[in-house]
Structure 1
Amino acid sequence: MASFSMEEFLGEGALKGLIPKLVAGGWDDVPTIKMMNSEDMDWIKLTQQQKDALELRSHLHDRSLMEYADRLEASRKSLAELLSTSTVVLSSNFGMKRGHVARFIDRASACRVTMPPSYVLPARERSMSISSSKGDEPSRTTERPQHVQTPSKVSSYQERSAEQSAADFKISEGYIFKGIVAAEPAEPRLCGCVQPPPIVEHVAPYSSIESISVQKLTPEYKVGMGRLVATKAPPMKASELWKHKPTILLCLRRPGCVMCRAEAHQLYSRKPIFDALGFQLVAVLHEQIESEIRDFWPRYWGGVVILDQSMDFFKALGGGKLLKDKFITGFLFNPRAIANYKRAQATGFEQNYKGEGEIKGGLFIIGRGKNGIAYQFIERNFGDWAPIAEVIDVCSQLQRELPSQGESL
């Protein structure tokens, strides 16, 4: 189970009722709350029990184990104490399945997201501005230290996790920022008898996407709103999406696919980073199935969701035509697609098989106004994800370059 709903994440225990206080301080979404440090928690006057509960729920959320959050929190034990509990007790006392116990106690599989040193959370900036108006001088710390005092083995595990997360931001030497197309290589299929789909060599022209007619299916998730807008928004030109703010567009094959859900979740988990860079996140679907949208948003994706019924974004990824692949040749006989599926399955996310699943997706990074497409990634094999490090690097460089750019490409 994934969750980007504040209500689901905070649960019915010690954190219940904190939503107004958190929202007032700018901590208004789950990815941002998970990056709170001890100073932030002291600022909003969290009790030790609430700090312990937040650390526990962040750990469970990282491992898609939120279904156990209320039971584990009710034990009044800290995360360190629970990690030291025997597997038998975790299974018998809290009803954890054997595989979930292994995921819970695995200290090498942390999914924590850390902010690059030069970035500051918008919520933290707001707190600093409020403090400054009162004559205080708070620290501009952006790293997330330990919430509570824990044994050294847990502390060292979290330090390693932070180092591993920081490594995600590194780009190989020689990387040059420019408008590029990126795609994973394709593995040989059936000893070379089946050729992988070709990929285009150039970024789609801006003219091919600016006038696409899209419909907003969901807004960006905010506390207390309905799971879907009460009335459907009218069609709009796609260029309205990035008129005032640069945008990351994630084009998904099928919202019920576990590989698509995992990709959406790992990208939206970095929302605080993209917020700090001034980017918004938008998911693009090519078909509208109400039940699928309700299951997908905001549990796996809390950003805006739009419908591209004409599939023009998907055609742009393929140089003017849809990139498609058959289930047998594109998945069953494709080692890379199988590996991608296993990677997504490891998240523990639920899945279904509703809807069209053969149309390949990808990702666009689009500059504000008419600055054009800075980057596009093509899902050459089922389940390919745009490298997070590369996406963040492109957004960082685009942020620095935009002020000096003109209004057209």
Structure 2
Amino acid sequence: MASFSIEDFVGDGVLKELIPKLLEEGWDDVPTLKIMNPEDMDAINMTQHQKDALEIRTYLHDRALMQYGDKLEASRKSLPELLNLSTADLSSQFGMRRGHIASFTDRNNKCTDPLPKSYGLPARKLTVTPSRSNTIYKMQTIRKSFCRSSTNNDRSLEESLADFKIKDGYIFKGIVAAGPAEPRACGCIQPPPVVDNVAPYSAIENISVQRLTPEYKIGMERLVKTKTPPMKASELWRDKPAVLLCIRRPGCIMCRAEAHQLYAKKPIFDALGIQMFAVLHEHIESEIKDFWPRYWGGVVVFDRTMGFFKALGGGKLLKDKFLSGFVFNPRAIANYKRAKSMGIEQNFKGEGEIKGGLFIVGPGGTGIAYQFIERNFGDWAPVAEVVEICARLKNQQQDEGDSSRSPQEHK
């Protein structure tokens, strides 16, 4: 699986000299850099070689083939020219292995789900000096595109979200989701039960958390040098809504795959004004260094008391044994194979029986909008569903803001 480190992404090619400019202009993380359009490239005076290099590296990153980036870029061929080369040429000129050639030439074979075409940025004429405002414009454009495309989504989900209302001052109606409860070992082992109701906001607002990493940007320190003091979890979403991905174990191949898939959609979450946090229940520094920013470039926080993990289980930790939860569980094995096919490395350090999940929390004290429970090892919250709910949460905030404005302000 390709790394989310900018330094790893640009390699030793012609994009390396652009790093200071990319940082200055706001193209400071890999998911955002990958959505640059031709006019964005012209705005920072990229050469044709640099444009070709970015297109090649974006294509390779989607297919976990970044090890060939420097060689392909040095050929000074464009991506279409490289894709038209024969198998023999790819092997002899670039040392590409047979299996990698198949992945490279299959234009539909991606390790990560691409951003929908509706999120593409339209051509635009810049009337100001290139600056960070270009990035703001870009995110606004993505937001508008998403809002237009979200009208065709699943009706049942829309109905569930239509009556989002604050109850008792702090709790949304919310949605609880989990993977299917399939029998294991021919029905001899039953899957663990999961809660049917969204966790009360009071279960998470006062959890003590500690920031272990900042949000990744080009050239920043890999870890927070000074230990940040513990704080209430509610501080994380005080001003903006947040997605909190509760990681069972950062060295787990399935956890890494889920984190990578979710963070790859960062430009969408940025456009929707959604923050992204990964929550760990163990603090093993070597594991954090391996996990961030390679698989996750967002903020990582430490939940020492496992409060978020208990909230997912209705007040107690949701746990499963390796034998009953994995070996005799066809769905968990399928989840493992899915992650394995993405070329992700793994280790077995740390506690791996405590199930994770995902929360979407509204700003301030508005409550939990959505929670997903990892019923089977490796179950993921559907990314499309997470994005959809975040978009509707954003729309609700806008509607509430409009309704609170006076008639004079609307003019």
TM-score (norm 1): 0.86
Whether the 8 Å contact between 1:170 and 1:389 is mirrored in structure 2 is no
Whether the 8 Å contact between 1:35 and 1:113 is mirrored in structure 2 is no
Post-superposition CA distance 1:104-143 (Å, at most 9, x none): 222221346336748979xx99x776579x9xxx999958
Distance 1:402 1:80 in 2: 43
The residue aligned with 2:359 is 364
Q: Secondary structure at the match of 1:284?
A: strand
The residue aligned with 1:55 is 55
Distance 1:139 1:197 in 2: 44
CA distance 1:219–1:312, change in 2 (3 Å): same
The residue aligned with 2:71 is 71
Whether the 8 Å contact between 1:169 and 1:389 is mirrored in structure 2 is no
CA distance 1:400–1:142, change in 2 (3 Å): closer
User: Partner amino acid for 1:331?
Assistant: F
Distance 2:139 2:208 in 1: 43
Q: 1:399 aligns with which of 394, 401, 407?
A: 394
The residue aligned with 2:212 is 217
Q: Secondary structure at the match of 1:401?
A: helix
Distance 2:377 2:139 in 1: 42
User: Partner amino acid for 1:57?
Assistant: R
User: Partner amino acid for 1:66?
Assistant: M
Distance 1:119 1:369 in 2: 31
Deviation at 1:169, TM superposition (A): 9.8
Q: Secondary structure at the match of 1:399?
A: helix
CA distance 1:26–1:183, change in 2 (3 Å): same
CA distance 1:140–1:331, change in 2 (3 Å): closer
Q: Secondary structure at the match of 1:35?
A: coil
The residue aligned with 2:233 is 238
Stretches of structure 1 that go unaligned for 5 or more consecutive residues are: 144-165
Post-superposition CA distance 1:133-161 (Å, at most 9, x none): x9xxx999958xxxxxxxxxxxxxxxxxx
Whether the 8 Å contact between 1:208 and 1:316 is mirrored in structure 2 is yes
Q: 2:381 aligns with which of 361, 386, 390?
A: 386
Whether the 8 Å contact between 1:186 and 1:336 is mirrored in structure 2 is no
The answer to whether residue 114 in structure 2 is matched with residue 113 in structure 1 is yes
Whether the 8 Å contact between 2:25 and 2:130 is mirrored in structure 1 is no
Distance 2:400 2:303 in 1: 29
Distance 2:289 2:208 in 1: 22
Distance 2:49 2:330 in 1: 47
Whether the 8 Å contact between 1:169 and 1:393 is mirrored in structure 2 is no
The residue aligned with 1:152 is none
Whether the 8 Å contact between 1:119 and 1:273 is mirrored in structure 2 is no
Post-superposition CA distance 1:167-190 (Å, at most 9, x none): 999632322215110011122211
The residue aligned with 2:81 is 81
Give matches, 1:258-269, under 5 Å. Answer: 258-269=253-264
The residue aligned with 1:174 is 156
CA distance 1:250–1:49, change in 2 (3 Å): same
Give matches, 1:234-313, under 5 Å. Answer: 234-313=229-308
Aligned-residue CA RMSD in angstroms? 2.8
Percent of aligned pairs with the same amino acid = 66
Whether the 8 Å contact between 1:169 and 1:392 is mirrored in structure 2 is no
Q: Secondary structure at the match of 1:192?
A: coil
Deviation at 1:52, TM superposition (A): 0.6
Deviation at 1:26, TM superposition (A): 1.9
Q: Secondary structure at the match of 2:195?
A: coil
User: Partner amino acid for 2:42?
Assistant: D
Distance 1:288 1:139 in 2: 36
Post-superposition CA distance 1:316-358 (Å, at most 9, x none): 0010111111111111111111111111111111111111111
CA distance 1:104–1:139, change in 2 (3 Å): closer
Stretches of structure 2 that go unaligned for 5 or more consecutive residues are: 143-147, 165-173, 402-411
Deviation at 1:85, TM superposition (A): 2.1
Whether the 8 Å contact between 1:287 and 1:309 is mirrored in structure 2 is yes
TM-score (norm 2): 0.85
User: Partner amino acid for 1:319?
Assistant: G
Q: Report the more deviating stretch, 368-377 or 176-185.
A: 176-185
